[in-house]
Amino acid sequence: MAGELRISSLPAVERPVLITAFRGWNDGGQGATMAAGFLARHWAAERFADIDPEDFFDFQATRPQVSLEDGITRHIEWPENEFLHARVESLGRDVILLLGVEPNLRWRTFSALIVGLAQQLGVDLVISLGALLADVPHTRPAPVSGTASTPELVEQLELEQSRYEGPTGIVGVLHDAFREAGIPSASLWAAVPHYVSMTPSPRAALALCDRLAELLGGAIDLTELREASDAYERQVSEAVVGDTETLQYVEELEQRTDAFDGDDLPSGDALAAELSRFLLERETNVEGDDSAAPPPTDDR
**CATH number of the domain within which 36 lies:** 3.40.50.10900
More confident residue, 110 or 270: 110
pLDDT band at 288 (very low <50, low <70, confident <90, very high): very low
Amino acid at 198: M
Q: How confident is the model at residue 272 (pLDDT cuts 50, 70, 90)?
A: low
**Amino acid at residue number 166:** G
Instruction: Band the pLDDT of 119: cuts 50, 70, 90.
Output: very high
pLDDT of residue 299: 32
Percent of the chain residues topping a pLDDT of 70: 84
115 in a domain, yes or no? yes
Decide if 222 is inside a domain. yes
Give yes or no for residue 290 having a pLDDT over 50: no
* Cα–Cα distance measured from residue 57 to residue 63, given in angstroms and rounded to the nearest whole number: 9
Distance CA(145)–CA(159), nearest Å, equals: 8
DSSP reduced 3-state for 248: helix
- Is residue 265 assigned to a domain? no
* pLDDT, average across residues 115-127: 96
Helix 223-240 and helix 202-216, axial crossing angle in degrees, nearest 10: 150
Q: What's the average model confidence in pLDDT over 61-75?
A: 85
pLDDT for 264: 47
Please tell me the total count of domains within the chain. Answer: 1
- Predicted confidence (pLDDT) at residue 275 exceeds the cutoff of 60: no
* Domain presence at residue 262: no
Please report the sign of the dihedral spanned by the C-alpha atoms of residue 240, residue 241, residue 247, residue 251. positive
CA–CA distance, 193 with 187 (Å, rounded to integer): 20
In a domain, 299, yes or no: no
Residue 115 near residue 181 (C-beta atoms within 8 A): yes
Alpha helices in the chain (DSSP H): 31-42, 107-121, 151-157, 170-181, 202-216, 223-240, 244-259, 268-288
Angle between helix 170-181 and helix 107-121 axes, rounded to 10 deg: 50
User: Where residue 287 falls among pLDDT bands split at 50, 70, 90?
Assistant: very low
Is 263 part of any domain? no
Note whether residue 64 is domain-resident.
yes
Amino acid 293: pLDDT: 34
DSSP state of 160: B
Cα separation, 54 vs 227, in Å, equals 38
141 sits in which H/E element: none
Q: Rounded to an integer, what distance in angstroms lies between the CA atom of residue 194 and that of residue 279?
A: 12
298: in domain: no
52 lies in which domain range?
2-257+270-292
Instruction: Of 146, 263, 129, give the one whose Cα is nearest residue 201.
Output: 129
Give the pLDDT confidence score for residue 281 in this predicted structure.
56
Task: Look at residue 291 in the predicted model and tell me its pLDDT.
Answer: 36
Average of per-residue pLDDT across 234-243:
84
Residue 137 backbone phi and psi in degrees, to 5: -85, 150
